[in-house]
Amino acid sequence: MKNVVSLVLASILVAAPAHAQTVNDDVRCLVVTSAVGEQAENEPTRKVANLTAAFYMGRLDGRVPATVAAALKSQPAVAGTAALGIFKACAARAQGAQARLRAESR
């Protein structure tokens, strides 16, 4: 549970772009991780997907709404192994942000 709280806090505190990730990148991560969370057949995957989606929602909250809306509309369909690869990369970025936040808070 402590990790869950840390990741949620990281999503709030790291909402500003940290690693030159574009709005399109953040939107792609939000869309894919949200879809994985909805379709996950096991609780651990669902939890990681939902926390990762919350992280990217926090990042997008600090962006210009019209830019986010345009990025949402322009997202191509992604499925199968491509979606899994995107999910893993996005989750790794969110976990990296959590690790940086933990290190800075010590």
Q: List per-residue pLDDT tens for the chain, 106 residues long.
A: 555 445 444 444 444 445 568 999 999 999 999 999 999 999 999 999 999 999 999 999 999 999 999 999 999 999 999 999 999 999 999 999 999 999 999 8
- Predicted pLDDT of residue 13: 44
Please state, in angstroms and rounded to a whole number, the distance separating the CA atoms of residues 81 and 43.
20
Tokens of 75: 């997202």
- Predicted pLDDT of residue 42: 96
Residue numbers of the domain that contains 75: 2-105
Please check whether residue 105 is in contact with residue 41, taking contact to mean a CB–CB distance below 8 angstroms: no
- Predicted pLDDT of residue 106: 87
- Total domain count for the chain? 1
